[in-house]
């Protein structure tokens, strides 16, 4: 047989290697901004067009490069930052692998202009998909400008794999937030499609936080500071009553490098235990300084993980110092733990033995739920290196992948339900009552049906909004007194990206000055007074949803609208309202689970009831 092994052409090898470093526009933003920081820039400007898909431009006033260095910088493993392997352990710069420019220029059309302070004239270089195009002299300011155009122009598979603009923009925003927080002493500007999103002056950390997230953060920040011989912690945490429904605004930096660590996250969040409701997330920006010899950061270029040699003491120091800050600033616990915790349906009511197929399906799902709640213990969590939320999302994804219905269209359950519903006969319908202002209880043929009014509403609204969005039939009710809504810059740009869809559900609004909107009309389905709250809630949720569920814009928006506009637990319902809720629920395509995968109703089987009273024993 003839020889069949061949070396890959360099351009293909480069593309493959680039896959490690460049996954999406946000990866380019991160690498190039880090280079600017490493080059000692005082001001860095980021400009993106089309969520970075057509252009990412970064301009800095850093040290620049000589003509030769400019050419060298695009070679793989070319770096000015480490010279020998021992240097790896003393890394002070953000980058050190010498891979970013080589990788980016393998999968995009790159142009660089750069000049050092000593040189009269600068250099401009153009490289397309690893192909050197030109190098010329140009007159330019000291510093470096990078233009990255048409990312993945030569790797269509990857280009097609990119997500919608709002999603890609969100990833860019995340990187921008992380770097701007890590370096408050540097000025950062951010333009998106000619819209100025941020203009951040050099400042203290607290001002930087306010500049990034909005003026209302000013009253919400608590300083946190602790120092031992080995490790120093400093930064800000949010007050206990300032929690969010998503974990987006939680930042940990180790030696000024943003990292993800479920373990350290858990240390911080557990300090809030008893102060914040379940399912909410406190704000924090914490910097941990520790001698480089106690950590290992030489990990994968895109992974932001880190190892400590003594994790337990780091954990307890963080937890103690966060607790102390919360204590010192005397936060009164926000005691409204709400219906969510106290009235949660007890999943311990095990289904009886003689299960119908649909009920077996339930118990299967419930087991997962039970396993999840068992996993709350942090040690177990850490063993799996996943936190509860991740596990939940992960489990859902797995179930979806395995073909286990996620949004749970249990055919058999529905069929069975028809039967049950038929038996919510007219006479029985009078036997409907509300329990704990949260659950609707009504007898059905096979037992007693308990319905969670909140998740039921979410399901009904979700399906309605989805229909409205798909058919473009959103109608709007005019507000007598239009409401102004001040947003933070990143939410404002999110609204711009989602404008069509948001208007599609029935919001009418206009832009009004810097990062502000005036809401003139709200969707007909919601209460006129809650327009503003729903609008804000929808943005908040949208950000969370699209990270957790890989669903379309429309589904996400429908899900957010549903969770924000439906009635909640704790609201009193009249008999009429309850009946109508039941009717609408079972008119849904999928009455079993809410759009977030929560159980909507449960049937306490007759057999089970008989069991309790030992009638057949």
* 23, 54, 80, 141: residue in contact with ligand ADP (rule CB under 6 A): 80
Toward ligand ADP, which CB reaches closer, 88 or 479? 88
- Could you give the 3-state DSSP secondary structure of residue 127? strand
Angle at 329 between CA 341 and CA 540, to 5 degrees: 45
60 part of the interface to ligand ADP, by CB under 6 A? yes
- Calculate helix-pair angle for 262-271, 311-328, nearest 10 degrees: 30
Token readout for 270 is 């557990």
- Neighbour count for residue 210 (Cβ, 10 Å): 18
Token readout for 12 is 């293909």
Stretch that binds ligand ADP, among 55-63, 201-209, 219-227, 556-564 (CB under 6 A): 55-63
Partner interacting with residue 45 (select from Mg ion, ligand ADP, none; CB below 5-8 Å by kind): none
- Neighbour count for residue 258 (Cβ, 10 Å): 18
**Binding pattern to ligand ADP, positions 10-49, x when CB under 6 A?**
---------------------x---xx-xx----------
123 part of the interface to ligand ADP, by CB under 6 A? no
**Binding pattern to Mg ion, positions 97-116, x when CB under 5 A?**
---x----------------
- Neighbour count for residue 607 (Cβ, 10 Å): 17
Toward Mg ion, which CB reaches closer, 38 or 548? 38
35 part of the interface to Mg ion, by CB under 5 A? yes
Partner interacting with residue 56 (select from ligand ADP, Mg ion, none; CB below 5-8 Å by kind): none
62 part of the interface to ligand ADP, by CB under 6 A? yes
In whole angstroms, the minimum distance from the beta carbon of 142 to ligand ADP comes to 10
100 part of the interface to ligand ADP, by CB under 6 A? yes
* 25, 62, 95, 282: residue in contact with Mg ion (rule CB under 5 A): 95
Stretch that binds ligand ADP, among 56-64, 243-251, 419-427, 559-567 (CB under 6 A): 56-64
In whole angstroms, the minimum distance from the beta carbon of 76 to ligand ADP comes to 8
Toward Mg ion, which CB reaches closer, 35 or 220? 35
- Neighbour count for residue 367 (Cβ, 10 Å): 12
- Neighbour count for residue 301 (Cβ, 10 Å): 17
CA distance 64 to 253: 27
DSSP letter at 75 equals S
In whole angstroms, the minimum distance from the beta carbon of 259 to ligand ADP comes to 18
In whole angstroms, the minimum distance from the beta carbon of 571 to ligand ADP comes to 55
Q: If you search the block for the tokens 């392997």, which residue do you land on?
A: 85
What string of H, E and C letters represents the secondary structure of 182-231? HCCCCEEEEEECCEEEEEECCCCHHHHHHHHHCHHHHHHEEEEEEECCCE
200 part of the interface to ligand ADP, by CB under 6 A? no
Which residues make beta-bridge pairs with 580?
A: none
252 part of the interface to Mg ion, by CB under 5 A? no
- Count residues binding ligand ADP (CB under 6 A): 23
79 part of the interface to ligand ADP, by CB under 6 A? yes
In whole angstroms, the minimum distance from the beta carbon of 97 to Mg ion comes to 7
Token readout for 552 is 């379309």
Nearest residue to Mg ion on Cβ basis: 95
* CB of 89 closer than 8 Å to CB of 61: no
489 part of the interface to Mg ion, by CB under 5 A? no
Helix or strand run (H / E) with residue 510: strand 508-511
Angle at 46 between CA 56 and CA 297, to 5 degrees: 90
Sequence-distant (6+) residues with CB within 8 A of 499 are: none
Partner interacting with residue 51 (select from Mg ion, ligand ADP, none; CB below 5-8 Å by kind): none
Sequence-distant (6+) residues with CB within 8 A of 229 are: none
Question: Measured between alpha carbons, how far apart are the two ends of the chain, in Å?
Answer: 76
CA distance 305 to 300: 8
* 14, 144, 490, 515: residue in contact with ligand ADP (rule CB under 6 A): 144
Stretch that binds ligand ADP, among 62-70, 206-214, 433-441, 475-483 (CB under 6 A): 62-70
Residue 606's nearest CA partner among 430, 355, 385 is 355
Partner interacting with residue 239 (select from Mg ion, ligand ADP, none; CB below 5-8 Å by kind): none
Partner interacting with residue 64 (select from Mg ion, ligand ADP, none; CB below 5-8 Å by kind): ligand ADP
In whole angstroms, the minimum distance from the beta carbon of 384 to ligand ADP comes to 32
Which residues make beta-bridge pairs with 604?
A: 448
563 part of the interface to ligand ADP, by CB under 6 A? no
Partner interacting with residue 538 (select from Mg ion, ligand ADP, none; CB below 5-8 Å by kind): none
* 52, 64, 184, 489: residue in contact with ligand ADP (rule CB under 6 A): 64
- Could you give the 3-state DSSP secondary structure of residue 136? strand
Toward Mg ion, which CB reaches closer, 82 or 391? 82
CA distance 277 to 240: 9
Stretch that binds Mg ion, among 96-104, 457-465, 481-489, 574-582 (CB under 5 A): 96-104
Toward Mg ion, which CB reaches closer, 82 or 479? 82
Contacts 24+ apart (CB under 8 A), 393-402: 393/548, 393/549, 395/368, 396/549, 396/597, 397/550, 399/368
DSSP codes of every residue in 235-272: EEEE-TT--BSSS-SEEEEETTEEE--HHHHHHHHHHT
Toward ligand ADP, which CB reaches closer, 70 or 468? 70
In whole angstroms, the minimum distance from the beta carbon of 60 to ligand ADP comes to 5
Toward ligand ADP, which CB reaches closer, 145 or 407? 145
Measured in degrees and rounded to the nearest 5, phi and psi for residue 341 equal -85, -50
In whole angstroms, the minimum distance from the beta carbon of 178 to ligand ADP comes to 17
99 part of the interface to ligand ADP, by CB under 6 A? yes
In whole angstroms, the minimum distance from the beta carbon of 100 to Mg ion comes to 4
* 15, 45, 57, 63: residue in contact with ligand ADP (rule CB under 6 A): 63
Token readout for 507 is 């919001």
Residue 539's nearest CA partner among 245, 277, 279, 198 is 245
600 part of the interface to ligand ADP, by CB under 6 A? no
CA distance 564 to 548: 17
CA distance 530 to 522: 9
Stretch that binds ligand ADP, among 76-84, 123-131, 203-211, 319-327 (CB under 6 A): 76-84
* 81, 149, 445, 584: residue in contact with ligand ADP (rule CB under 6 A): 81
Q: If you search the block for the tokens 């260095």, which residue do you land on?
A: 69
| Contact footprint for Mg ion (CB under 5 A) | 35, 95, 100
| Contact footprint for ligand ADP (CB under 6 A) | 31, 35-36, 38-39, 60, 62-65, 73, 78-81, 95-101, 144
């Amino acid at each position: 047989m003839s020889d069949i092994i061949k070396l890959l052409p360099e351009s293909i090898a480069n593309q493959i290697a680039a896959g490690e470093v460049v996954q999406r526009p946000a990866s380019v933003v991160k690498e190039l901004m880090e280079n600017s920081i490493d080059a000692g820039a005082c001001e860095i400007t980021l400009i993106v067009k089309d969520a970075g898909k057509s252009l990412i431009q970064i301009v800095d006033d850093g040290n620049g490069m000589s003509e030769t260095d400019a050419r060298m910088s695009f070679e793989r493993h070319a770096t000015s930052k480490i010279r020998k392997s021992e240097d790896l352990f003393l890394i002070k710069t953000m980058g050190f692998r010498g891979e970013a420019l080589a990788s980016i220029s393998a999968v995009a059309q790159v142009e660089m202009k750069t000049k050092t302070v000593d040189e009269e004239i600068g250099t401009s270089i153009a490289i397309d998909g690893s192909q050197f195009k030109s190098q010329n002299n140009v007159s330019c300011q000291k510093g470096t400008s990078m233009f990255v155009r048409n990312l993945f122009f030569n790797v269509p598979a990857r280009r097609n794999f990119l997500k919608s603009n709002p999603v890609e923009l969100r990833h860019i925003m995340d990187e921008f937030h992380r770097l701007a927080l890590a370096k408050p002493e540097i000025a950062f500007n951010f333009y998106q499609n000619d819209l100025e999103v941020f203009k951040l002056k050099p400042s203290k950390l607290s001002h930087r936080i306010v500049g990034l997230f909005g003026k209302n953060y000013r009253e919400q920040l608590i300083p946190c500071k602790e120092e031992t011989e080995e490790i120093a912690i400093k930064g800000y945490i949010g007050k206990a009553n300032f929690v969010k429904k998503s974990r987006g605004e939680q930042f940990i930096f180790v030696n000024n490098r943003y990292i993800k660590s479920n373990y350290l996250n858990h240390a911080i969040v557990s300090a809030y235990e008893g102060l914040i409701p379940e399912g909410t997330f406190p704000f924090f920006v914490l910097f941990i300084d520790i001698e480089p010899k106690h950590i290992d950061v030489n990990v994968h270029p895109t992974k932001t993980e880190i190892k400590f040699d003594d994790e337990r003491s780091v954990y307890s120091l963080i937890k103690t110092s966060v607790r102390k800050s919360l204590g010192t600033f005397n936060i009164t616990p926000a005691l409204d733990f709400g219906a969510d915790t106290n009235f949660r349906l007890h999943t311990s009511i095990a289904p009886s033995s003689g299960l119908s197929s649909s009920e077996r399906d339930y118990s299967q799902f419930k087991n997962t739920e039970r396993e999840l709640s068992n996993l709350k213990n942090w040690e177990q969590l850490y063993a799996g290196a996943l936190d509860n939320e991740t596990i939940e999302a992960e489990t859902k994804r797995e179930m979806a992948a395995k073909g286990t219905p996620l949004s749970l269209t249990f055919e058999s359950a529905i069929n069975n339900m028809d039967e049950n519903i038929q038996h919510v006969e007219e006479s029985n319908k009078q036997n409907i009552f509300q329990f704990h202002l949260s659950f609707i209880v009504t007898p059905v043929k096979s037992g007693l049906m308990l319905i969670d009014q909140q998740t039921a509403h979410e399901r009904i609204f979700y399906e309605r909004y989805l229909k409205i969005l798909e058919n473009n039939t959103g109608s709007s009710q005019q507000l007598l007194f239009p409401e102004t809504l001040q947003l933070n810059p990143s939410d404002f740009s999110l609204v711009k990206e989602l404008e069509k869809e948001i208007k599609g559900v029935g919001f009418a609004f206009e832009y009004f000055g810097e990062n502000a909107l005036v809401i003139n009309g709200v969707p007909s389905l919601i209460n006129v007074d809650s327009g503003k709250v729903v609008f804000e809630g929808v943005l908040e949720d949208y950000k969370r949803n699209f990270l957790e569920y890989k669903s379309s814009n429309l589904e996400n928006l429908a899900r957010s609208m549903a969770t924000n506009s439906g009635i909640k637990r704790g609201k009193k319902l009249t008999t009429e309202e309850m009946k109508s809720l039941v009717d609408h629920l079972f008119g849904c395509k999928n009455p079993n689970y809410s759009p977030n995968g929560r159980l909507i109703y449960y049937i306490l089987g007759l057999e089970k009831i008989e069991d309790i009273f030992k009638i057949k024993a």
